[in-house]
Chain A
Amino acid sequence: ILNVEQSPQSLHVQEGDSTNFTCSFPSSNFYALHWYRWETAKSPEALFVMTLNGDEKKKGRISATLNTKEGYSYLYIKGSQPEDSATYLCAPRTGNQFYFGTGTSLTVIP
């Protein structure tokens, strides 16, 4: 079992605000970190797969960074839009097994 923590648990921001949240995980035996976006009543959708310390990934207004030495990853959303409202999950992988955090629930208020 891997202890994965995501903070904050939930977040309300105004449309146009930029925001970020954190995924913390044990740095030992780290293989990769996956980020997912999960909208209500839908299935999780993959955003990024990150493996190397210092990795940075970007998809539109969403970006992520990875620090494997200290065991954390940040997800940033620039200029939040209502359609960004979702739960964002991180899942470190050790070997072939995944351990999901409980997610950060983002609500963007128009």
Chain B
Amino acid sequence: EAQVTQNPRYLITVTGKKLTVTCSQNMNHEYMSWYRQDPGLGLRQIYYSMNVEVTDKGDVPEGYKVSRKEKRNFPLILESPSPNQTSLYFCASSKGARGKAFFGQGTRLTVV
């Protein structure tokens, strides 16, 4: 089954404690991206990747890092989380930026 898998689904953490949200897709998609969803705002793109070892900043990259060492995986790293990073996060993948995106189940992150 074609899918994008994010882990964990829910996470409560403390300010400053490094964390990683994993994202994996099984469709051999080149394009992957991370979004955050906050009340009253549309999905905002954090980072995207056109292919292995090619990543670029989206609209709101501050406080986040990503890596794309393998085609299927695109982890999101918060080196020093802060409460303003409390949000719902989605990973998505597609066949190039032109393709229809498949979204993961979402990760609800709370930073206290």
**Which residue numbers of A lie inside 8 Å of B, CB to CB?**
1, 4, 31-32, 34, 36, 43-46, 49, 51, 89, 91, 93, 95-103
Contacts and interface: CB of A to CB of B under 8 A. Distances in A.
Nearest to B103: A43
A89 B43 contact: yes
Given A4-B42, A89-B43, A97-B48, A49 B99 contact: yes
Contacts of A100: 35, 42-44
Interface size class of B (residues with CB under 8 A): 20 to 34
26 contacts: A1-B59, A31-B97, A43-B104, A43-B106, A44-B43, A44-B90, A44-B92, A46-B101, A49-B98, A49-B99, A89-B43, A91-B43, A93-B97, A95-B97, A96-B48, A96-B56, A97-B56, A97-B58, A98-B33, A98-B58, A99-B42, A100-B42, A100-B44, A102-B40, A102-B42, A103-B42
Closest 8 CB pairs of A and B: A46-B100, A100-B42, A43-B103, A100-B43, A96-B97, A102-B42, A44-B103, A101-B42
